[in-house]
Structures are given as C-alpha cells and as structure tokens.
Structure 1
Amino acid sequence: MTPAARNAVRGGLLARLESLSLLGLLLVVAGLLGWLSNRYEIEADWTAASRHTLSEASRALVETLDGPLTITAYASPNPAIRQPIEDLVGRYRRVKGDISLAFVDPDRVPSLVRDLGITFEGEMVLDFAGRTERVTRATEAEFTHALQQLARGAERFLVFVQGHGERAAHGQANHDLQTFTGQIEGRGVRVQELDINITAQVPENSSALVIAGPTVSWTPAALTAVQRWVNGGGNLLWIIDEGRLAGLEPLAERLGIRVKPGMLVDPAARLLEIKDASILPVTEYPARAVVGRFDLVTVFPTASGLEHTPLEGWAAESILRSGEQVWSETGPLDAGMVKFDEGDDLMGPFDLGLALTRPRASAPGRLAPEPGELPPPSAEQAPPPVTGEPPSAKAPAAQIDATLAADQAVDAAADTTATPDTVAADVPADADADSTANAGQQRVVVLGDGDFLSNQYLGNAGNLDLGTRLVDWLTGDEQLIEVPARLARDRQLELSDPVQATIGLLALLGIPAALLLTGFTLWWRRRARA
C-alpha cells in the first residue's frame, strides 16, 4: 500500500473516532442534563446555637412517635404567616417523614373556626393517634411541648403533698421546686399541690404522689391517707431530706425502707472541684429500666444512705449508688474537719435511691384500712379529682382539603367533630391504652436527698435530666425517658451593667472619636506633602 493510501485509511479511522467521541459526549451531556433536571437539596446550619435545626430533645421525642402526624394550620394565604409554619414543620419532617401539613384560610370557613375555638392567626391543630393538641406560635419549644402531650396519650397528674413543711412545688425559694416542676409541666405532666391534712385522701386519678422532704411530723389522718394510697397500688415519689422521716416511720416499715445514720461524704469529690464536704457526686445508676442510658454526673447535697429489707410481693432495685470510697459521716460536717472515724462512721458503697415495684394485683386495696388505721373519709369528704385544662377540641384535619374546594364538605366535616369538656377523672379506664401504661405495676421511688431537685441545685450537671427520667418512669411513660430535658442551648445574650455601659460609651464616643482621628491623620499627611 502506497503511503498516500495508508494516510487516507488513517484519516478515515480518525474521522470515525472523532464522530464516535462526539456522539458519546452528546450522550453524556444528555444524561447529565436529565440528572440535573431533578431537584437535590443540601442544607447546612452554621449558626452558633443551631437555631435552624431541631434540638436533640425534639429529635428524640419525634422518633418515639409511632404513626402519622397530621397538622392543620389555620392561616390566611399570607407568605409572612404561612412560611414560618412550613419552615418549622419541615424541620420535623426531616426526622419523621409521615408528617402532613394542610393550610385552611379562616376567612373561608368562619363557622368551623368558631366551633373549634380558633383564636390565633396561624394556630395549628396537631392530630396523632386520635388525640389532638394545639400550637399557637410557630416555635420549636411550643411545638415540641404539644408533641410531648400527644406522646403521653393521656393526662398525667403529679400531686405534691403539702401541710408538713414539704418543699413547695411552685415555690421560688432556693429549697423549693418551682424550676423542676416548670420543666415537668413543659413535658406534658400536670403538677398539683394537695394539703392532705384537709382532704385526708389522695385523688383517684393522680398518676403519682410526691412527698418532698417534710420537716414536721405528719398527722395520723395524713399518714393513713398515704398508707391507703400505697395499699391500693398508687405510685409514690418519697424524698427523705437529711434522714428525717417526720412521722412516716410506719410507711417506711411498710415499704421495707431504712435510713442509715449520718450524711454521705466523698473524699474524691475534690477531683471535681467540689469543696463542700456535704455535696456528693454520683456517677453510678444501676437501674437502667428506670433511668435509661443515663451517664451524666449528678450532685446530692446532704444525702443519706438507704437500705431495703426484702418484703413479700415487692422487688427493689438501686437507682443511685455511691462509690466505695464514700462513708456516712455521723459527726458534724465542718469544712476541713471531716475524716472517717472507725467504729462511728460507716463505709460505702451506699444506695441513695431505690425503685420498688410490685404487681398491682397483689395490692390489698385502697379502701381497706389495716389495723390501727383511721377509717377512710366519706364520699362527701373525699377530695375532688385533680384537673387541668380541658382537652383541645379535635380538628377534622384529615377531612379538610387544603384547597377548600367546597365549603359544604368542610361544614360536613365540622359536624362530625366532637368538642367534649372533660377532665382526666371523667375518662373511662379503657378509653386509651396509653392512659394505663403502668396499670399492672405499682411503682415507688425513695430518694435520700431532695436538694438535687431544688431551685438552687437543679442546674448542676445532670440533676434535671435525672429528675425528669424518674417522673417519666413513675407515670408509665418509659418511651420518653431518653428524651433530654432541655430543648436547646440558651440563645439569650445576657450582659452585665458594666459591659453594657462600655458598649454604650464605645458607640457614643469611641466610634466618632476614631472617625475624627482618621480624618485628622489624612488631613495632616496631605498637608505635609503639600
């Protein structure tokens, strides 16, 4: 083959290769264009407090909801109103995909809005498992609070006994519990106070009774009321402060509880920079069924050790346990003077908290007084059931079309909506399976210190989280135990008076002075050059 023919063949091959390459390139470009026609979103929250991302507590709560959540927002077609709602719900949708949102224009259905009692622009009605809650502001805190109410399934009432110098549930003093009960209420539990000296009986619909560190001796009638509550299978949180039983020795004997003498002291507390010998750090929580996967440090001032004597029908488990280096100091807790005295003090480890359980079927009955007890009060003397706000009216979210194509269809849906004004005591026992989540088991928690829940110490380490976990277990809401207590980090910037004054002076005098100095410097340089 001549060189000319060889070149012609080579040129033909190269032309074909170029054509094939061009065809392949066109196919690749077409494929890329098809891929790019789909929408792919990538979002990142770079704010310091992650204000555009759900908090850990909200995510954990949403993951406990088993079933679809329907949201009906009553908002006019104004982007300034609807967009914040869509953004908020979108955060929850990223965690739970089966959340549906429908908007209803209140001006289109005034009769429905009136019947449901919708009073706020942008008010949302959440429907989950046949239960409803309302949200009036598009904030994570309020939305998550409503989800907590729905997750519990029924009203929970935590009743605090008063009348014997107990810590006040809504008191603002350092030793009171207002901060703790506020957090509990934020998690969907109603908190009530009860002067048992007046009622001499515990309301039947109470989820748990709380005896928070009485300081004076109980009256026989009050003691009988609590014994009857425990006999009948009622749940109890008993906080013993500084080893004082305050006349509740018969209750302690009935539960098999004995308080060890002295206050617990941990010489290793200095490693945590705790200088007060009366403050005990705890890191061991044996009862995982009660506190879940809890591994935070908690601190207990003036704590006492507890001991349980096995009783027929009752099972006991340690909730809080000290280290082996801890001892029970029977002498005065003077700073710098605390030391272990052989023969007088007791060496650890100690149990600071105990969880007692028994089948409710073995409870003798709330209305069966034992020998030596006072007779139960008559029906006229019995206290009324504890109550909260009436449940929200159930919105027909699943029956309303978001576009509201036919007002007649919406009105028909509204006619099927029930708006009962009931309280917790009026709900039948079989109305909701969740309302009797721990119906087969009686639960009692006894703690050797109550300061860790007080306004003064609640913010230390994991005290708040431990307290909320104990309440969730007592009320039978184990699915919420792993939900952290705090929704998010504090986003409020607090400045002291000196700092505020400094910033004000800088803005008023510093910045103008800097501008004048800069202008003078430029003028001087130009003058020097001239």
Structure 2
Amino acid sequence: MEDKMKKYAGYGGLVGVLLLAMGLIYYETGKVWNWFCWVTLILGGIGILGFFVLRFQEIVQKVKRTVQLRSFRYGGNALAISLMFLLILGLLNFLVNRHSVRFDLTKGGQFSLSEQTKKVLKNLNKEVRVTAFYKSDTQRTIEDLLKAYRFYSSKFHYEFVDPDKKPGVAKQYGITAYETLVFECGTKTEKITEKDEQALTNALIKVTREEDKVVYFLEGHGEVDIDSNERLGYSMAKKAIEGENYKVKKLNLATEKSIPSDCSILVVCGAQKLPFSSELDTIHAFLERGGKAFFLIDPPPAEGFVEFFDKWGLKIGNDIVLDASGMGQLFGMGPWVPLVTSYPSHPITQKFRVMTFFPYVRSVTPKESPGNGISVQALLKTSASSWGETDLQNPRAQFNKGKDVPGPVTIGVVVTKESSGKKTRLVVFGDSDFANNSYFRVQGNGDLFMNVISWLAEEEDLISIRPKQPEDRRVFMTAKQAKMVMYITVIFMPLLAMAGGVWMYIQRERK
C-alpha cells in the first residue's frame, strides 16, 4: 500500500508541475489572472506538496548518498562557480538598470530618436503623461518607441489601457478608436492616432508650449502660394510649420494697414513686386519693436528690397550665383543650383551637417559697417568655385574677374538688434525656391527652413534634424522561398543538431 502511495505521489508531483506551468503560460499570454490561474496554482501546489510529503524519507536518503559521491564534490565546485557567475550577472543587470545605455546598430538608426526629439525631451520641465489605448496583443507596436522617449526624460510617463478591459477609462477620455494616444500636461491634452516619431514629438510640443505662435505670410506682391500643391507652391512648408504646432495665416498690408499683435514671425517669400512705401514702413516699424521676420528674396527680375535692407546692414546683389564645382551634377543639377556644404557657428546651423541646394539664388552680403547697434552674420556661403554672375542678359558659366562677384558667395545672413530690452531677429536668403514643393525634401532644405522658423520663434530646442519617415524594410518572399526557409530552420537545422548529438554519443561509446 505504501509503495503504491509513493508511486501515485510521483505522478501527482509531475501533474503538479505541469499544472503550474499551464497557469503561468496562460497568465503570461493574456496578462490576466482569473479563476483558471487560481485552480492550476492550487492543484499544482497540492500535487507537488504531496510528492514531497509522501516521499520525504526517500528524498533525504538520495540526497545523503549523492553528497558522499566523489562526483558531487566536483559538481559542488561547478555549482559554486555557476552561482558566482549568476551573482556577477545580477550585479551587471542592476548597474545597467540604474545607468542604462542604448545602442542602435540598424541601418539609418531605425530605432534611434532624432536630434529634435532628444532636445525636446531633455528640455522638458513639466510632467507629461501619455495614455496609450491599445489592445493587450498590439501594445508592442508602440511600446518600444514610448520606452525610447522615457529613456531621455524622467518627466515623460506612459501607461497602457486596454479599452475592452477598462471601458470606463476609455469613455472618460472619449476614445472611439483603438491605438489612440492621449498626451496630457497640466490642463492641456492632445489625441493622436499616428504612431510615428514625428506625430508623437509634435503632440509633445503642443501640450508643453506656453502659448500659440502665429506665422504670417505676406501676400499681394506676387509672393509664393502657401496653399498650392504645385511644384513651385509652398504647401509642404506650410504643413511642416503647422506640424510643429504654429498657426499659419496670410497677411495683406494693403488692406490690414498694420501687422497683427499676435504675429510671432513675418515671412516675405518670393515677392515679385516691391511693396508700397507705407507697407515697408510698417514692416520696418515691426522690426524696430523687436519683431521677427524671414525674407526670401529671388534673383532679378524680382525686387531686391535694396533700400529697405540697406537700413539693416545688408547689401542685396544684382546677380545670380553660379557654381562650377561640379558637385551639383552628382545630383542631376547644373551650375544654376549652388550647394552649401559647410555652415558657421550659429544656433540655426548647430550640428547641421547636411547639404542644402539653392536654385537660382542671388547674393546677400553684410555691409562692412551696419551701424545703429545692428549685428550681421553670414549664415550661408557657396563653394570657392562659385561666383555671382552680373551679366544677367547673357549669364554664362564663366567667371569674369573684376566684373563678377568672386566666391565663396554669401547667400544667407542673420541680423540681430537689441535695444531697450527689445530683440529683433531677421533672416534674409537670396532665394525662395529652395523651400518650395520641388526642393523642400531634398537633403537638408526643409530642415534648414524649419530651423530658421524655430530660431525666429525663440524656440532653439526645436532646432535640429527632424524625424524622418520610417523606411519599409520588410522582406518579401515567394511561396517557394518561404517553403525553403521553413525546411532549413524547422527541419534541417534541428536534424543537424540531433545528428551531431548522435555522433558524439557513438564516439563516446566506442571509447
């Protein structure tokens, strides 16, 4: 009878282990602790406990015999070394958790945040909470990205809520769709359904920004159309500005008579005709009051605002810049599209190491003595192989010494003036085409344009290389290729490992 009980105890212990394993697997799969988990835990515990109680004497005798074996002593040494190894691993794990480091070895830094996002996170001075309304089985699609945000700021917090399991919370936030993110900072909230870095960073900026800033585009003088989707339009630039949560409006000074009080930045882009003197006086007064403006002046025959900019320490060239370096030809562009490959030390171009292209650009250079408390700095210069061609009737790719402007040619400047606590910021480029729909996404053109906007808005933390759209790196296989992969990984490789084990066993038996 006693032997039979011991035999059943062995079966009970085995069943107990299996029940515990089933319960743990069930919980790890669904992350839900319910009656099934309790039943498997209790029955499994009873089975294992019964095994140890009924076979206690036998277990003690086996332990004594094992300890007396010579092999046990060697095994004890191995066990001690193993425990020491595990202790070292545990210590390393503790240090890594306290001082974590991330490495991204993927092509293009697929799992690395952009410099702009890192800046925004490191400059967070408020607590931001993100609630992700995702089903339990889809949370991994966004969790890695949220972890990366958390890594760069202790003030960024997130939690997942399954709308099906917590419908009350979903109703409280007004959630109507799965995979919705809610950003909260103080009294501000922002909902998004996109799950790419750019959408998350823009939502983060929106809830943490103190006030809404407005960018006005001047119109009425042949300026570019910010709503046009055509190649020469500025709809991409407008979308990028709005994407960083600025408001974009149009301004016609012939009807408005004054620049609105909520104007954070005035943009004059590609004007073909010179505004009326009263309009120029209004713009000048706006700048004198500490206003911020971005002028993009095209080459002749477009107006150069020569007299206006003379007051601000600038000389607008009556020329078109050509570049004979041949660099543009590598990108399918001719000498009429100069490249800028290096930049001076300035917040707009800090850590900016990408090329920019300027099709049909004129020179914009600082005067030797700007005067009147004005500071002027060159921001963009073309290569030494470029020049400012002054023969506009017959421009040829040939430099004429003493007549043309020798390179490198300055094509973009920054003007600052501070008086009575008012800080004026002015940026002038000799080209508007570089940020139109044809060139906005070419190399660093769009980033440079947005960096200027951020600097004028006095939001230096947004000056950087912005997030790019994730590259689709999926592997597409035919049915035959998929079957071959399955045969190799599921059948061939396990058989190879098994054959190696059999061969080693046979060799050992022969000895």
- Scaled by the length of structure 2, the TM-score of the pair is 0.67
Cα deviation, residue 141, structure 1: 3.4
1:447 to 401, 414, 429: 429
What pairs up with 1:49-448 in 2 under 5 angstroms?
53-57=111-115, 59-61=117-119, 63-67=121-125, 69-73=127-131, 75=133, 78-80=135-137, 82-103=139-160, 118-128=175-185, 131-150=188-207, 152-243=209-300, 246=303, 248-270=305-327, 272-273=329-330, 276-309=334-367, 310-332=370-392, 337-361=396-420, 441-448=423-430
- 1-side partners of 2:315 and 2:268: how far apart? 16
Cα deviation, residue 164, structure 1: 0.8
Q: Aligned residue for 1:26?
A: 79
- 2-side partners of 1:176 and 1:307: how far apart? 27
Q: Which has the larger radius of gyration?
A: 2
- 2-side partners of 1:452 and 1:471: how far apart? 15
- 2-side partners of 1:73 and 1:287: how far apart? 40
Secondary structure of the 1:269 match is coil
- 2-side partners of 1:276 and 1:245: how far apart? 22
CA RMSD of aligned residues (A): 4.0
Cα deviation, residue 292, structure 1: 0.9
- 2-side partners of 1:106 and 1:286: how far apart? 51
Q: 1:44 and 1:330, CA in 2 relative to 1: closer, same or farther beyond 3 A?
A: closer
Cα deviation, residue 311, structure 1: 2.1
1:487 to 468, 472, 480: 468
- 2-side partners of 1:276 and 1:39: how far apart? 57
Task: State how many pairs are aligned.
Answer: 403
Matching residue's letter, 1:476? E
Matching residue's letter, 1:154? E
Q: 1:317 and 1:129, CA in 2 relative to 1: closer, same or farther beyond 3 A?
A: farther
Matching residue's letter, 1:455? N
- Residues 454-494 of structure 1: CA deviation (Å, up to 9, x unaligned): 11222333212211211111111111212x1342344399x
- 2-side partners of 1:38 and 1:451: how far apart? 58
- 2-side partners of 1:319 and 1:220: how far apart? 28
- 1-side partners of 2:278 and 2:377: how far apart? 30
Q: 1:320 and 1:151, CA in 2 relative to 1: closer, same or farther beyond 3 A?
A: farther
Matching residue's letter, 1:93? R
Matching residue's letter, 2:363? G
Q: 1:30 and 1:80, CA in 2 relative to 1: closer, same or farther beyond 3 A?
A: closer
Q: Aligned residue for 2:27?
A: none
- 1-side partners of 2:291 and 2:103: how far apart? 49
Cα deviation, residue 207, structure 1: 1.5
- Residues 411-442 of structure 1: CA deviation (Å, up to 9, x unaligned): xxxxxxxxxxxxxxxxxxxxxxxxxxxxx522
Give the share of equivalent positions with the same residue, in percent. Answer: 23
User: Does the 8 A contact of 1:218 with 1:246 survive in 2?
Assistant: no
Cα deviation, residue 85, structure 1: 4.5
- Residues 76-128 of structure 1: CA deviation (Å, up to 9, x unaligned): 7x414555454442342344455322345768998986776555444333234
Q: 1:268 and 1:44, CA in 2 relative to 1: closer, same or farther beyond 3 A?
A: closer
The farther-off stretch of 302-311 and 248-257 is 248-257
Q: 1:73 and 1:472, CA in 2 relative to 1: closer, same or farther beyond 3 A?
A: same
- 1-side partners of 2:269 and 2:164: how far apart? 51
- Residues 150-194 of structure 1: CA deviation (Å, up to 9, x unaligned): 465432222111111101122222222212222222233222222
- 2-side partners of 1:290 and 1:261: how far apart? 26
Q: 1:124 and 1:297, CA in 2 relative to 1: closer, same or farther beyond 3 A?
A: closer
- 2-side partners of 1:73 and 1:230: how far apart? 43
Secondary structure of the 1:185 match is helix
User: Does the 8 A contact of 1:72 with 1:125 survive in 2?
Assistant: yes
- 2-side partners of 1:43 and 1:278: how far apart? 44
- 2-side partners of 1:194 and 1:267: how far apart? 39
The farther-off stretch of 241-250 and 220-229 is 241-250
User: Does the 8 A contact of 1:264 with 1:303 survive in 2?
Assistant: yes
The farther-off stretch of 63-72 and 449-458 is 63-72
Cα deviation, residue 72, structure 1: 4.1
Q: Aligned residue for 1:468?
A: 450
Cα deviation, residue 356, structure 1: 0.7
What pairs up with 1:2-41 in 2 under 5 angstroms?
21-32=74-85
- 1-side partners of 2:306 and 2:392: how far apart? 24
Secondary structure of the 2:217 match is strand
User: Does the 8 A contact of 1:287 with 1:318 survive in 2?
Assistant: no
- 1-side partners of 2:358 and 2:112: how far apart? 32
- Scaled by the length of structure 1, the TM-score of the pair is 0.65
User: Does the 8 A contact of 1:234 with 1:443 survive in 2?
Assistant: yes
